[in-house]
Amino acid sequence: MELCVSMWSVHRKFYHENWTTIDFLRFCRDIDVRRVELLDLFWRDAAEEVPDVLRFIRENDMEVAAYAVANDFVQADAAKRADALASVRRGLDFARQFHAPVVRVFAGNLKEGYDFESAFLYIVEGLKAAVEGIEPEITLALENHGLLAGRGEQIKRVIREVGSSRLRSTFDVGNFYLVGQQPMEALAELSGVLSHIHVKDFVKSEAGLRATTGEYFSGVTCGEGIVPFPDILSMLKVIDYSGTLSIEYEGDGDELDGVRQSLAFLRNLLNESVPV
């Protein structure tokens, strides 16, 4: 297992302080992180930026462990579903440029008039089309994200129905709380289809992200919340997971400090209990 940092961890730097992907990569280099997760959301001018990013990655011996797109297949309008598929295919093109082995994808967003059952066929149709013709070096990894397809059994059902080895799981250890599921329960369900893991931590709060249970959760530094990291890492060792653990910090306060502190916690935990 190798630690990684997702650029989503510094999204406020991007939106409010004009950070670029190169700024993010410099930060990762300076904290001795060599694996990164890049997002489609964070290009201002991809044609101009990508050559510089490729050069920086090469010169600093870094790797793009995953590339993330923002697709939504849950659309009654066929043209909008086609747009979602095009988004995934653009992500695959970027992944090829960056030699990224994983493209992180979504099922879609919960909307009025839909639930998982009514959205299921749209999700499967879109992902079946998305995996067609993908080379064996790249895997789509479906994240348990949002309130539509956020439970382990839902992700597993989609993967089974698509029926391709090119679709696996991005396992987000925190998001399960938002759909009333414990991450260890979900890990037991998805242990055979993991390709990428998001590590974050949550605490119960009075406001923040509202779960399907009516509870609220807020992001904190890894190790300060309710996520059972020792149990999760022990299970990942048992199942011989060899992919990345990508920090996706979502807490308040200074994002850079949050990443640094999460990184220190996970490095100590890995060194103490889970040989890599």
Query: Comparing 177 with 272, which gets the higher pLDDT?
Result: 177
Average pLDDT over residues 75-102: 97
Could you tell me the pLDDT band of residue 276, with boundaries at 50, 70 and 90?
very low
206-264 confidence digits (pLDDT tens)? 999 999 999 999 999 999 999 999 999 999 999 999 999 999 999 999 999 999 999 99
Cα distance between residue 46 and residue 243, in whole Å: 27
Give the DSSP letter of residue 70: -
DSSP 8-state class, residue 220: E
Task: Give the rounded percent of residues in the chain with a pLDDT score beyond 90.
Answer: 97
Residues 6+ away with beta carbon under 8 Å from 132: none
This prediction has a pTM of: 0.95
Could you tell me the residue ranges of all domains in the chain? 2-273
For 2-273, CATH gives 3.20.20.150
The per-residue pLDDT for 1 is 87
Render pLDDT for 7-62 as a digit per residue (tens, 0 to 9). Answer: 999 999 999 999 999 999 999 999 999 999 999 999 999 999 999 999 999 999 99
